[in-house]
A and B are shown apart, each in its own frame.
Chain A
């Protein structure tokens, strides 16, 4: 334990120190190679120009290289793999893709992902918005917001473990230790094996992500709501609009760009959802999703790099347009500048 802490600390210090050393050193090197204090003025000006055009590349260089190695190269490698067989040796054309679209597991995953997509971003944004508005008006709102934000700090696996206990089921006659079943028994109902109830279990898993992400939506939307000019709300009050109308017609439209950014950010997250399903059901009882299916084929029982890669590409194609829209929207919002 202590050993791990020490090594983590050393890594952090070395990493940060290394970065500083790189920026400092490369800058000095640039200065030496093209001195700004050259003997004649013409040369000095030229050197300064060279310096300022080289420096951005120098400073961005490490990031660009890392991005290429860990992001761009894998994309092309995955595309390449998706057109090859199990071991990635012989070309099979689009066989992996046609397999996927005829595979019942894959179809199930697409359907489930679609459900997640429909429910989670909408629920997070909705709850985030409502909580942001409500907590703005009460004195203990700050505390409530912190509590709602807290789950965001928990890893998906950690959160799933917590919720495993919530949904826990003990056999007939035993005491129910899961809070949900305990409550149901207390109210005189029959305990259920929640996570194996086909179709509905999807929603029980979604609750976990909603629980985690609502805090994020609350904080971002809360900040946006505070940016809505107070006097437009007052004008609407005088114009005879009630609280609901003011909320839906005056407040929400004014923060629409932020709502879209929150919505799409969570949408991208949902398309990649993996840890929760892996931890809770591992895709059993009809809860499979694309990311977990890919993981299955790539690294577990499946052991088929071609199929795994094909699924990965499908996920990427689904995420890409939303991602682009999200970035555009975020940029537009910044330019709109409040």
Chain B
């Protein structure tokens, strides 16, 4: 049980202003994902919540108590580091049990708790090993075990999958989702720059850019109603097309956002005329890259496509599904 509330949180390193007026309400048991490009301040925000970084101004509340000055170990928070941060000289058992040892628990209780967590994460055969004798995935699980064993109310993950190879990444992503389901009351905050991870894991996503919160919402809210051009371009793969100029004006917008799947294609007529530059045919769907006066547009077609590179095409945005943005980049209506 842990609600987290950030109010106008700011963080500066000297003159460098990193986090700007971040306000957030996180409900107990939520899986929140911070997503944003590299260097936008995700880690800094996470580290401020856990107490490794001090907060320059604003407040951080956990369970309705301001914890700005509370040391990290007293915040009821566990963190899984990007590098795992395992203690290289300690066995898996000692790594997992270190926090309990610091709490002054009796040995027997530590043993029982560590073994239970190890069992849960299939680490039992490796308890006596040093981290260097483990695979990447096993190290990852030790790092998670270290968080679980403390019974923390809040779990923080900083890009936990970035050191794994692609196959293991998908598998571990599913395991983390499973872990969350098995701990419904635990609040989890997960940082990633990968919007696919964000979309698949999150109850709610917080999109950050340059230290500001751009939008907060469920994955589908962000997908269906991006609040501005940044979120529009960031969420969804392949990226949403952002069109300016005459085609946008026709829809009474400064910028028109059209997802690749929301175009009609025609050889003869349509709103925007262009030329197919190249195609990617994947079987289940095809992607056409169309050169137009407004730039290169990405268009998705179901199944195979009849168009070939060099063909002239007309693309027409599906009027009901377009996103309209004003001059300031904000969503219109």
Residues of A within 8 A of B (CB): 229, 231-232, 234-241, 245, 249-250, 253-254, 256
Contact = CB atoms under 8 A, between A and B. Distances in A.
B87 A241 contact: no
A98 to B, nearest CB: 47
B83 interface: yes
14 contacts: A232-B85, A232-B86, A232-B88, A235-B85, A236-B87, A238-B79, A238-B99, A240-B73, A240-B99, A240-B102, A245-B102, A249-B98, A254-B88, A254-B89
A253 B89 contact: yes
Nearest to B147: A238
Identify the interface centre among B79, B81, B87: most chain A CB within 10 Å of its CB: B87
Contacts of B50: 238
Interface in B64-121: 71-73, 77-79, 81, 83, 85-90, 98-99, 102-103
A236 B98 contact: yes
A239 B85 contact: no
Interface string B30-62: 000000000000000000001110000000000
Contact of B89 (A231, A241, A256): A256
Contacts of A241: 73, 98, 102
Nearest to B83: A231
Interface residues of B, number: 23
B88 A238 contact: no
Contacts of A239: 73, 98-99, 102, 146, 150
Nearest to B79: A238
A225 B50 CA distance: 25
Contacts of B103: 240
A239 B150 CA distance: 8
A235 B73 contact: no
Identify the interface centre among A232, A239, A250: most chain B CB within 10 Å of its CB: A239
B52 A237 contact: yes
A259 to B, nearest CB: 12
Contact of A238 (B73, B83, B86): B73
Given A232-B85, A236-B87, A239-B98, 9 more contacts: A229-B83, A231-B81, A231-B83, A235-B79, A235-B86, A237-B73, A238-B79, A239-B99, A253-B90
A245 B73 CA distance: 14
Nearest to B132: A336
Nearest to A234: B52
Identify the interface centre among A232, A245, A256: most chain B CB within 10 Å of its CB: A232
